[in-house]
Structure 1
């Protein structure tokens, strides 16, 4: 390298160019690296007026400086080296330990501890695609799914939601709020329908943010035990991510017909006069719930000859007129709500063949009336019947 003369120095000085005289250093490369790293921390303190802090919501460089400062405080040989430079009092509070290996302060190792993966050729000041440890965990939670062992329970729900999307009683809308994530909610994420089957107890993180563990079922028969914030982040990042609205049922039926209404049929609730021991022991609870386009009298005619009526006479205990609805879908909806209380009974038809009737349930009449009210106001899809509590409960 060419040396500058005094005249050159004077000329460069007039041009505002500062010449730094190169001096041979008596420090080892490791010591130079330690000092340089500490000076970066000092510059951060000068710019922000505070020491760097830990936290997954912090900038990656601040987190790196915080880890580096901790290591400098801990290592006795480092403290001795940089204490004369510590005009900001950054070394106070650390407990010195024995001298460590020179590689202990390597930036790549510190970044690895922070959950940051960078290539060998990457420069620290040009980090690309850097993710925090929390982001990596959230991505892993979305990607890591396992086979849903009881998917048969949920498959009919996915089919029903698809039908309701097709007929327009449900809509897909852009995802907006974390509050939309709740037990029983439906979403589209990663091109798949996702059902929040369970939500654990709500907790608060160290940063004051609420979170909860979810059991999310996907339409391909897999499930994930992810955090609510993980699902929120996935929905926000997915350009096609959507929430699926609750169904808008409207007044499915009423006791009075409006001028332009078209009759659809009747919901009927029956009690059996069968002398079967199971029926006799639970006469006030065993009810058949069905839908017919005939008159109820026509529907129950010859009940004692039909397996669906338990080969016995019946008593009509309640009826509800239907207007402008799909009676088959409504019947399926009612049966799904009371599925946990379906009567498990086998009888013989008049030809001596065993038959298992499907429309009989062990449920009190007042709960059926409550279900009717929820069908009227459109909220029934969020409920199921709990036999232990003898009441409708939120799913």
Structure 2
């Protein structure tokens, strides 16, 4: 037996060896299959085909474009028929109109599966065939579910949008500061994302520290992803941004801004609504606003405006200020008293539900104190504590 070669030994053992078959697929076909496998994985995870839309995850939008393109290719239908149990290729195309103007080579080029791939897009760096690490990141970020308590987070997103418009917050390119902490806001694939919870530290496979996050998105979904997955996704997203903490000033600067007014009035209103909750807490419920004109003009017709709870109002306090930025000032008050924002839904004149956002459960003397701190420049260090109904140093509430 020592003189037998390998083939003779296997033959003596009764083992038949089938010759290795060379792959009958071309490189082009293998890439089409690999691209369709990503779409199938999405379908298996979500129970539907990927869809277009700015509110969709960037990878879902990418898969939707890819699926539209594959539907245009007759050879793809024949090649993928055995894999397409859900019938994804038979669906109607919903991509952009100019897809119809592309020939097969152009469509394949968009998929990164053309016969003549540019040097920078060779098989090792295909645009739409990602490495296993990138696929894992994509799956973690895209794996979202409906947020069951989104109504408690929605006011935060609305407040942040107001602060961005008023210049109280800034959107900064992600990277210079790559930290992720509880309470941080980011923009990921065009959507606001809020880090609601940071779990206990865990050790990643590479030995570095990581943590599981609860991230809430402005479209009412949430994701339980790892901190490093979020960081990688923000790095890879050209539009990924970190939102700065609120900038409370300058309110009284020497240079005029578009929303500056030479003199104005901070006004505090109390509602005369007969709504049971409002009637019970009337002495605590106040609306805070800023106007450059007459307060009386501003509140005329309040009983027909859902902003004023569809009821007449009483002016309980006014404060005259000069050279102030109206938009920024209103954003500051809304942020300061955000924890005490009135959570009340009423029906407007047309029977549609409305949730006014500019009323707060704050005693009048606390508002007066806040204006005093505003005038002497010390308001930036304070926050409102609803438990004690008082202004406290930020971080101590």
TM-score class, shorter: 0.3 to 0.5
Q: Name which one, 1 or 2, has greater alpha-carbon Rg.
A: 1
TM-score (norm 2): 0.45
How does the TM-score come out when normalised to structure 1?
0.45
